[in-house]
Structure 1
Amino acid sequence: MTSHDGHHTMSHGHEGRGDHAGHGGGSSVNAMAASATLHCLTGCAIGEIAGLMIGTAVGLSNGWTIALAIVLAFVFGYSLSTLPLLKSGLAIGTALSVVLAADTLSIATMEVVDNLVMAIIPGAMEAGLVNVVFWVGMMIALAVAFVAAFPVNRYLLQRGKGHALTHEYHGAEPVQEGVRRLIPSFSSGALAAVIIAFILGGLSVAVAEELGGETGGEPAPAGQVEAPAH
């Protein structure tokens, strides 16, 4: 078989995957859309939490804190999608252009929904990091953002856009020499597990702080005087 035939076969196989995603294999499309949405959600969650933590720590207003969280969500979202493309050997400019085309709409949808939900939940934005309302609100917001972005990713995949643009590079043999061999590989499942653990950890600290505040600083009942030490 000539190299021309081989190239034609590869192209035909790639087109076949697009046809399969667009016209059949509904469960396969759903699985791919769920994976793509989880991948974007992980980057968004990292950026959101980092932005809210930094904004709270330095005393930024709610508006600036939200703006910082959105910027970091895009930065982390794009970064997590760019790393595997760089590891497969793509030039950084090419990788970034692919990721910008693939992830922008999904991340934008998540950010709009996520921040809208946080703004709607009473006291979530003003609660602070050591507060149960904040962490519960964050979990609700991320869950709603996932539900909102899933059909967006599914629609894009069916038309060969979105994360379909990056799939052909995900199966490539990683570069084993130079600086690229040092690029870490993160699965969406592992990243999601870290985010869930982090959120649950933050919630646990908030619950402990709230319980400690309720039991640790109670004044003595009226009329009760502590006996002097002898």
Structure 2
Amino acid sequence: MGLFVHEDPYYDPDVRQVGFNRYKQLLSQHAFSWIKLNLLTVLGALPLAAGIGYAILSSSILVLIPVSILGGMIWGPFLAGLYDGILRGLRDAPESWWTAWSRSLRQNGRESLLPGGVLGLLIGMYAFMAALFWWSAAPQTMGTIVLYLFSGALFFLLNTLYWPQLVLFRQTTLNRMRNIILFTAKYFWRMAGVTLLQLVYCLVYVLLAPWTVLLIPILGLWYITFLSQFFIYEQMDQELGIEEKFKGACS
């Protein structure tokens, strides 16, 4: 990291840092493992991407719905594994990335099928609507575009707070949604910033395609997931007692 930013003379990689030093520390320790997790997650998303692509090319909403749900259910356990790996890094868990991913697949695989299916359906619907915008002879109104982007922002917000709860705690979907509402209300501006960051990241990939496809194996999903969780991890730990729970489990 010293190639790009001025190195702090007091930086100690063996001590948990704060602020930007913590960001550097996490990337130095875990970036390569997270890239490998990203590759697995991208592979898990291929059925969903292929199904959505086929549905768009065939212009069939009847094809889109089942392939999006099925593809999302396949992808769900892989996405849960990515969130689990990143959160393990944030709390300095000692396991290797492969051991942690295998354990996550066993522990969270079944529970992630339904939210994965819902996620896949929503992604399919957003992609199909974007294709309709492209095919439309008349330009979309500003109100339509704003509504589309706002609903996308809500989608990112839900994912940012739902999947960490799924891999960290055993609780009902109702409790998770309640936690999302309360956390967002308490940290509204932080969540608004994180959500906007994800929206811009996604738009860059879409608007600069196909060149950005080359970045998917390297940055793809892991970096924006890490960045989003990094910005809210301290607050989530305060509200949900993440590290206290896992310290108690290990003692």
TM-score normalised per structure 2: 0.31
Q: Identify the structure with bigger relative contact order (alpha carbons < 8 Å, sequence gap 6+).
A: 1
User: TM-score scaled to structure 1, two decimals?
Assistant: 0.33
